[in-house]
Amino acid sequence: MSYIYGLIPVLEALRAGRRKIEQIILAENNRPARIEEIIFEARRANVPIKQERRATLDKMVSSANHQGVIAVTRSISYVDIEEVLTSSSAKSLFVILDSVEDPHNLGAVIRTAECAGATAVIIPEHNAAGVTDAVTKASAGAVEYIPIIRVTNLTQAIDRMKEKNIWIVGVEAGCPKDYTEWDYKTATAIVLGSEGKGIRRLVKEHCDMLVSIPLFGKVTSLNVSVATAIVLYEAVRQRKLEKR
């Protein structure tokens, strides 16, 4: 059993219809406009609705910011990499995260990837955050739409992607090649590591190219979700120019 909490994550989960929602729980005397939308979508999907004291909702999600609404559901299912690669195209755009442990960062990356139209997000099974309730909340419902692939061996997954003619581009501080110099109009997977440690050596060695985002201040790194947004939207920019 899993929980989705927060107005937008619950609303998007209902709209997407990807997960079976067993029940919607609302805090008593909590009726902002978004709640009315949730009630409408829940009724349309034949999802039961019940009201509880706010303290009950606090206890269910350890006092996280649930905004007066919780959806009781099943944990999200990861997608098999072969399933995604089989349907990938010459314009596929993947995000690969290496050892990102903070659930809020993972959620923010998933949100950015979905907004940028990425094909999927790939994460390792070990020493990294998985898709938890907190990740779902941080993604603002994006986990309901974009495929999340979880692999036991990241380098093997990268090698399999190369067999499908997907270029692997690692984003690492201090590399001489600027991130804007890569041609993102081809099928590309962007690899980002955790703050501080960056991409692990073995994963880095499996990249076709390493690029960096220039930094001009005294802080030596960007948050991984910010770095993801910068590079993904460079890919979006290049692809839009190509269509003109």
pLDDT digits (tens, 9 = 90+) for 25-43: 999 987 777 899 999 999 9
The yes-or-no verdict on residue 224 having pLDDT over 90 is yes
Query: How confident is the model over 5-16, as a mean pLDDT?
Result: 94
Per residue in 110-164, pLDDT tens? 999 999 999 999 999 999 999 999 999 999 999 999 999 999 999 999 999 999 9
Q: What is the CA radius of gyration of the chain?
A: 19
Q: Across the strands, what pairs with 171?
A: 192, 211
Q: What is the pLDDT of residue 43?
A: 95
- Name the residue ranges covered by the structural domains of the chain: 2-73, 81-243
Question: Does the pLDDT of residue 221 top 80, yes or no?
Answer: yes
Q: What is the mean pLDDT of residues 73-79?
A: 91
In this prediction, residue 1 carries a pLDDT of 80
> Cα–Cα distance between 6 and 206 in angstroms, integer?
39
Q: How confident is the model at residue 90 (pLDDT cuts 50, 70, 90)?
A: confident
Structure letter (DSSP) for residue 48? -
Distance CA 85, CA 156 (A): 14
Query: Which residues have CB under 8 Å from 87's CB, separation 6+?
Result: none
Q: Which two tokens stand for residue 222?
A: 């960007």
pLDDT of 243 strictly over 80: no
Mean pLDDT estimate for the chain? 94
Residue 29 has a pLDDT of 82
pLDDT(220) > 90: no
pLDDT of residue 174: 87
For the domain spanning 2-73, the CATH number is 3.30.1330.30
The CATH code belonging to domain 81-243 is 3.40.1280.10
Please return the burial class of 46, using the count of CB atoms within 10 Å of its CB with bins 0-12, 13-18 and 19+. Answer: exposed
Mean pLDDT of 78-82: 96
Express each pLDDT in 170-216 by its tens digit.
999 889 999 999 999 999 999 999 877 899 999 999 999 999 999 99
